[in-house]
Chains A and B, each alone.
Chain A
Amino acid sequence: MSPIPSAAASSRIHPAATAPELLRNFCIIAHIDHGKSTLADRMLQLTGVVDSRAMRAQYLDRMDIERERGITIKSQAVRMPWGVDDKAFALNMIDTPGHVDFTYEVSRSLAACEGAVLLVDAAQGIEAQTLANLYLALENDLTIIPVLNKIDLPAAQPEKYAEELAKLIGGEPEDCLRVSGKTGAGVTELLDRIVELVPPPTGDATAPARAMIFDSVYDTYRGVVTYVRVIDGNLNPREKIVMMSTRATHELLEIGVISPEPVPTKGLGVGEVGYLITGVKDVRQSKVGDTVTNASKPAAAALGGYSDPKPMVFSGLYPIDGTDYPILRDALDKLKLNDAALNYEPETSVALGFGFRVGFLGLLHLEIVRERLEREFDLDLISTAPNVVYEVTLEDKSVVVVTNPSEFPAGKIGDVNEPMVKATILSPSEFIGAIMELCQTKRGELQGMDYLSEERVELRYVLPMAEIVFDFFDQLKSKTRGYASLDYERIGDQVADLVKVDILLQGETVDAFSAIVHKDKAYAYGVMMTAKLKDLIPRQQFEVPIQAAIGARIIARETIRAIRKDVLAKCYGGDITRKRKLLEKQKEGKKRMKTIGRVDVPQEAFIAALSSEPAGSAGGKDAKKK
C-alpha cells in the first residue's frame, strides 16, 4: 500500500482515539546546518501533511530570525500519518531547539519522546552540541536512530562518519541510514524505521490525567499555546485543568494537534502529543516542564524533571536614545510573554543612562533577544559586556549575589564563588595544541580526552563560565579555522581569586566598564580598556587621565592629552552665518554626549569600547574644522 494510509486505516488513528501502540513520538537531534529542517520538510511532504504547493522551505521554523539563522528556537510537534504493512500509525515529530543555551527545553522535548533520530551531516561528522543532546537522549532512554544526511553532497564521507556514529552509540556502521533531506532519498526508509524501532508510548489510560508541557508559545491572536505530551489519562475540551507547580486552574478553550497547522480535536489520549489553549497571556503561567492535570480528578503527584529556567548570563541593555527607554520597557514586557527564561530589572548607569539588567540562558539567547528587540521594536541598543552571577561572602559571613559588576562589594571580602561549566570540545586532532593553549589562558582544567576517530578528538574541560561568555567561542573558532565545536553545561560554583577592576575617567568611576576578572588578568584588562578608551574619547580642553584600579590601587594609566587647537582661522568672505551654524551644531553634539565628571564622552565611544572589537581607528577626534 501507499505509505499514506487509506481512509479506513486512518480511522484508527484519529486524535483522542488512537491506541498507544499506533503512536510513535520522536525528535530529531542535529547540529545547526546539518539539515534538520530540510529533512522535516521532506517528511511533511512524504506523509501528505503538506502538499508540494504549500511547501515552503523550513516550514516549521516560524520566526524570521530562526529562518535567517537556520536554527530552531521554539520547538513544535507535528502529527503525521504513516502506513506500514496495511497498518496506519500516527507519528509525532517533536522539533527540538539545537542550541546549548536551551538545554532545559531540549531535555523537556526529549522527555516527550520515545525515540530520537540522530541526524549528522555526512560531510562534517558529529558536533559537540549534537553529542551533548545525544547524551541527554540516552539518559532519557530514547531509542536512537542514526542517520547521515546530505549524502548527495560531493564532499560526503558516509563510510567514515557511519563508523564514527557506530563507535559512539554502539551497533554496526551499516545500521546507519543514509538520506538526503534535499532530494528526499532515504526518507521513506527512515519513516519506516521510526515505526519499526521507536517504542510506542506506555501510560495508564485510566489514571488521572498527567501531561507534560514541553513548550509554550505566545501567539498574538490566541494567547499562550501550550504543547503537551500526555503521559497518563486524557484531556478533553471544555474541562478545567490545573498547572501542578502553581496550582493555577484554567479552562481548556481549545485542544488539538498540529498537522501542520493547529487542528482542534476531541481531546488527547494517553501517549499523544498536541496543544492546549487556555486564554492565558503569559508563558510564565504555562511553564515548560510543568505537569497539567484535570481539575476534577487531579493527579496525586507531578511528573519529575521540572525546574525554573535560571539565567546564567547577565548584560545591561540600554537604548542609545534615552527617550526610547519606555519603548524598551514595553518591548521587554512583550517578549517576556513568549520567553519564560527572560528576566530583567531596571538599572541606571552613569555612563549609559536608564536601562535594564537582563538575565539570559546564554550568549545565543542574549543575541536573539537583542536582535528581536532591535528588529521587532525598531530600537537601537547598547549592551554591556556579558557577565555571570557571582556569590560574594562578606567578612560577616553574609552573602551578596552580584549580577552587575559595578555592584561588587567594596572593601574586605571573604570568598567569591563563580559558576563553573563542563565543556566538551570536538575538533580535528591537529588543533589539540591550540585548544589546550586557549583553555589554559581561560583558566580551564583538562578532564579528559578521547579520540572519536583517527582525526577527531573530544576534549573535556572544566572552565569558569565567565571565561566562556566573553569571546571564548570566537577564539576557539579562529584557532581551529572554524572546525571545533563547543558544548557546555553548568556544574556548580567554585571559589576563585577574583577582583573588580574599575575604570576611572579623571578620577570618576565609569560604571559601565567595571569588570570582575581573575586577579592574574586584572592588569591585562586594565591596560586593554584604558588604551581603548584613550583612542575613543575625543581630546578635551584639559588633560584627562584614564586609570584602571582595583579598589584604591591604580594598575594601569593612560592620558588623553589636552586638545591644542579648536578654532577657525577665518570666516570665508564674512560668512558668519555658516560659522555660527557650525558652532550651534557642535553645541548640539556636545549636549548628546555623556558627561563623566567634566569629560564629554560621545555615546559612540561607549559603544565602541563595549564592543569586543580591538581598539583602533576611532577617527574624527581632531576633525573639528570649518
Chain B
Amino acid sequence: MSPALPEGDAAPDDGSLPASALEGADGRAFAVYLHVPFCTVRCGYCDFNTYTATELGGGASQHAYADTALAEIALAAGLVPPRPVQTVFVGGGTPTVLSVPDLSRMLGGVRDAWGFADDVEVTTEANPDSVTPESLTALADAGFTRVSFGMQSAVPHVLATLDRTHDPRRIPDVVRWARDAGLAVSLDLIYGTPGESLDDWRTSVEAALATGVDHVSAYALVVEAGTRMAVQVRRGELELPDGDDQAAKYELADDLFEAAGLSWYEVSNWARTPADACRHNLSYWRGDDWWGIGPGAHSHVGGVRWWNVKHPRAYADRLDRGLSPAAGRETVTGDDALLERLMLGVRLVGGLPLDVLPQDARSSVAGLVADGLVDGTEAVRGRRIVLTRRGRLLADAVVRTLAG
C-alpha cells in the first residue's frame, strides 16, 4: 500500500492553476515526471504507488496506460505556459515493464507539448533483469539519455530480503550495455536492510564502484507502515534497521565514493563531476516547476503543489471524462514556504544562503556549527549554510533547529 495522499484543498476539475502559480513561470526551469505504476513483483519493502497486473481490474491495463498518460500530458499542455522541458524522469513502479514503443510515445507526447531543451536529460528507472542490450539501444534511440538501475545490493541474502529478483552478477553487464548504447548510467543502492552487515554493505558499494559508474544514489531503507516488511518486523521475523547502523553505513559509503572520485551533491546522491549529477533530482531540491504525470504523481508549479488520485482506475476514469486527475492541492506560503526552502535547499552541497533565514533565526546557526553539523568556514566566509557529513546525517534535526 502506498502512503496516503496529503490533506489539502480541493483541486478544480479543469486542473487550472491560480494566477500566482503562473506568474514568472517563463523564467523558471520546467521538468516532467512520468509515473509508471506497474511492477511484475511487489517488493516487501516498497510503498510506492505501483501494482502488479493481478491487482488491477479492467479499464486501467498496462497496454492502455501510455494513452491515458498522454491524455494528462495534453491537459497539462494547456495549463502551463510553453517552455522547453529541461529534464524528464520516468519512474515507477518499473517503467521497463512497458514496451519501448509505449515509453517512446509518452516521451513524444511531452516533446510535442512543450518541446525539449537542447541539453535535455531524459532518465528512466530500470530493473537490472528487465533490460537487454537491444532494449537499451532502443531506449537511447527513443530519446532517453540516462538510465538508473535498481541495483540495491550486490549481496544475494540482502536482495532476497528485499524481494529483488535480479542476479547481482548481471550488474556489470547491464552497465556496460547501457554505456554502449550511449546512455549515462546511475546505480541505486539501499543500505540498512535487515540482516545486512557492514561488510555486506561494503561489498555492495565496491561492486557498484567497480562498474565505473559516474553516479550513485544510496538510500537508507525505511520500513513504511502498511508494507509486507512492516508486518514482518512487527511479527519479529525481521529486525528493524537501526539508525546507528545506517549512519555507520552512510559514512562508509561516503568514504568509499570519495576515494573512488565521486562526491556528494545531495544527501543521498554522489556524482563524478557536477555534469554527472542528476539534474532532474536537483530540480526537486531547488524548488523548480515540474509536472508529475500519472496516478498518485505530485507536481509543483510556482508554490502550488498538487497530487493526483492514487489508483490507476480512478486516474483513467477522470481523464476519460475530460477531468483533471488532481485529487488535492495546496499553495505554500509564509512559514511553510520557508520550511520547504530550508528542508530542500539544505540537502544540497551548495547549501543555502544565510539570508534565507529571518534575522532572529540566524543565531541558531552558531549552535549548529558548535555541534559540528554546519560547516563553520562556509558560514563565516561564504555566508552559507552547508552541512558537514554529520550534519547530512542529521539534516532533519538541523532544519527543525533552523526553523525554530
Chain A residues with CB under 8 Å of chain B are: 541-542, 563-581, 583-584, 586-587, 590, 598, 622, 624-626
Contacts and interface: CB of A to CB of B under 8 A. Distances in A.
Given A564-B244, A576-B284, A579-B343, A626 B222 contact: yes
B243 A570 contact: no
B17 interface: no
Contacts of A586: 396, 400
A436 B91 CA distance: 73
Interface string B292-313: 1000111110000101000000
A574 B290 contact: yes
B129 interface: no
B394 A580 contact: no
B329 to A, nearest CB: 9
A577 B330 CA distance: 8
B336 A578 contact: no
Interface-centre pick from A569, A572, A583, A587 (highest chain B CB count, 10 A)? A569
Contacts of B393: 564-567
Contacts of A590: 400
B8 interface: yes
A181 to B, nearest CB: 50
A564 B296 contact: no
Nearest 5 CB-CB pairings of A with B = A564-B247, A569-B219, A567-B395, A565-B247, A577-B6
Contacts of B244: 564-565, 622
B28 to A, nearest CB: 16
Interface-centre pick from A580, A581, A587 (highest chain B CB count, 10 A)? A580
B48 A626 contact: no
Contact of A568 (B222, B292, B400): B222
B55 to A, nearest CB: 18
Contacts of A565: 220, 243-244, 246-247, 250, 393-394
Nearest to B368: A541
A568 B392 CA distance: 10
B3 interface: yes
Contact of B397 (A566, A581, A584, A626): A566
Interface-centre pick from A577, A590, A598 (highest chain B CB count, 10 A)? A577
Contacts of A580: 332, 336, 339-340, 343
B396 A583 contact: yes
B90 to A, nearest CB: 12
Nearest to B344: A576
A622 B284 CA distance: 27
A541 B373 contact: yes
B400 A573 contact: no
Contacts of A622: 242-244
Given A587-B400, A590-B400, A576 B300 contact: yes
Contact of B3 (A563, A566, A567, A575): A575
B267 interface: yes
Given A565-B393, A577-B330, 20 more contacts: A541-B373, A542-B371, A564-B244, A565-B243, A565-B244, A565-B247, A566-B243, A566-B393, A566-B396, A568-B396, A569-B268, A570-B268, A572-B2, A573-B33, A575-B6, A577-B298, A583-B400, A583-B403, A584-B336, A622-B243
A276 to B, nearest CB: 61
B148 interface: no
Contacts of B223: 625
Contacts of B344: 576
A581 B6 contact: yes
A577 B299 CA distance: 10
A566 B373 CA distance: 12
A573 B306 CA distance: 12
B394 A574 contact: no
Nearest to A564: B247
Given A567-B392, A569-B220, A541 B3 contact: no
Contacts of B246: 565
30 contacts: A541-B397, A563-B397, A564-B390, A565-B220, A567-B392, A567-B395, A569-B220, A569-B222, A569-B268, A570-B219, A572-B47, A572-B48, A573-B292, A573-B297, A574-B33, A574-B284, A574-B292, A574-B299, A574-B300, A575-B3, A575-B307, A576-B340, A577-B305, A578-B6, A580-B332, A587-B400, A622-B242, A624-B396, A625-B222, A626-B224
B307 A572 contact: no
A598 B370 CA distance: 13
Nearest to A582: B396
A542 B219 CA distance: 24
Contacts of A541: 371, 373, 394, 397, 401
Interface residues of B, number: 55
B77 interface: no
Given A576-B284, A576-B305, A577-B305, A567 B396 contact: yes
Contacts of B49: 573
Contacts of A574: 33, 284, 290, 292, 297-300
Contact of B307 (A566, A577, A626): A577
Interface of B: 2-3, 6, 8, 33, 35, 47-49, 91, 219-220, 222-224, 242-244, 246-248, 250, 267-268, 284, 290, 292, 296-300, 305, 307, 330, 332, 336, 339-340, 343-344, 367, 371, 373, 390, 392-397, 399-401, 403
Given A583-B399, A622-B243, A625-B222, A567 B48 contact: no
Contacts of B403: 583, 587
Contact of B35 (A573, A578, A624): A573
Contacts of B343: 579-580, 583
A575 B222 contact: no
B320 to A, nearest CB: 23
A201 B337 CA distance: 84
Contacts of B332: 580
Nearest to A587: B400
Interface-centre pick from B2, B33, B224, B394 (highest chain A CB count, 10 A)? B394
B60 to A, nearest CB: 18
Nearest to A625: B222
A535 to B, nearest CB: 16
Contacts of B268: 569-570
Contacts of B298: 573-577
Contacts of B401: 541
A573 B401 CA distance: 26
Nearest to A540: B397
A626 B91 CA distance: 20
Nearest to B337: A580
A571 B373 contact: no
Contacts of B248: 564
B3 A572 contact: yes
A542 B398 CA distance: 12
Given A542-B371, A586-B400, A573 B243 contact: no
A130 to B, nearest CB: 50
A564 B340 CA distance: 23
Nearest to B4: A578
B362 to A, nearest CB: 18
Contacts of B219: 569-570
Contacts of B284: 571, 574, 576
B50 to A, nearest CB: 10
B394 A567 contact: yes
Contacts of B48: 572-573
Contacts of B6: 575, 577-578, 581
A569 B267 CA distance: 7
Contacts of A625: 222-223
A574 B280 CA distance: 11
A574 B292 CA distance: 9
Nearest to B92: A573
Nearest to B268: A569
A257 B205 CA distance: 89
Interface-centre pick from A571, A572, A590, A626 (highest chain B CB count, 10 A)? A572
Contacts of B224: 626
A372 B35 CA distance: 58
A542 B371 CA distance: 6
Contacts of B371: 541-542
